Amino acid sequence: MITVGNDNQFARLCEVIGKLELAQDSRFVTNAGRVQNRDELIAILSPIVLQRTAGEWLAMLETVGIPCGPINTLDKVFAMPQVEARDLLIHVEHPEIEDLRMVGSPLKFSETPVAYKLPPPRPGEHTKEVSKSLLGYRAGRIQELFNDQVIS
């Protein structure tokens, strides 16, 4: 992901990719022009971006102050040192899924740590309880809704 948020950044991007003429092109000189002509600009930039790896682009663009970052697959996200250090991958016991892995809370309080007491509910697992306690429905009304397939 490359985020060019202003005209100076766009000029630096053009320099890095070896296309200085784009920074002078009337379609792309301003941010408004780049937005208006986005499809054309993407068609020009896409083949250039594909010539290098994400790692190469990151190194080059970070050096000149252009915001950028990889769009990671989940396996790469959970292998990141920061994710591991903050225990953001948790394993939860679940009655139907042998090894349920989930994203843990990013909030880390020393005196009141997050407790993962229950797995996420299965579809419809609490429908009757919610219908009764929150909606005030009686058992007969709840059964009617089930029968009419309004809820399941």
Q: Are residues 115 and 129 in the same domain?
A: no
Q: How many domains does the chain divide into?
A: 3
Within a domain: residue 112?
yes
**Residue 41's CATH number:** 3.30.1540.10
Looking at the whole model, is its pTM more than 0.75? no
- Do 18 and 41 touch, CB atoms closer than 8 A? no
Let me know whether 17 and 59 are in one domain: yes
Which H or E element spans position 46?
Answer: helix 38-49
The tens place of each residue's pLDDT in the chain, 152 residues long, gives: 999 999 999 999 999 999 999 999 999 999 999 999 999 999 999 999 999 999 999 999 999 999 999 999 989 999 999 999 999 999 999 988 988 999 999 999 989 989 888 899 988 899 999 999 999 999 999 999 999 999 88
Cα–Cα–Cα angle for 123, 124, 125, rounded to 5 degrees:
95
Which structural domain, as residue segments, surrounds residue 103? 72-120
CA angle 2, 36, 54 (to 5 degrees): 15
- Check: CB of residue 58 under 8 Å from CB of residue 70: yes
76 and 114 both lie in a single domain: yes
| Phi, psi angles (nearest 5°) of residue 101 | -105, 135
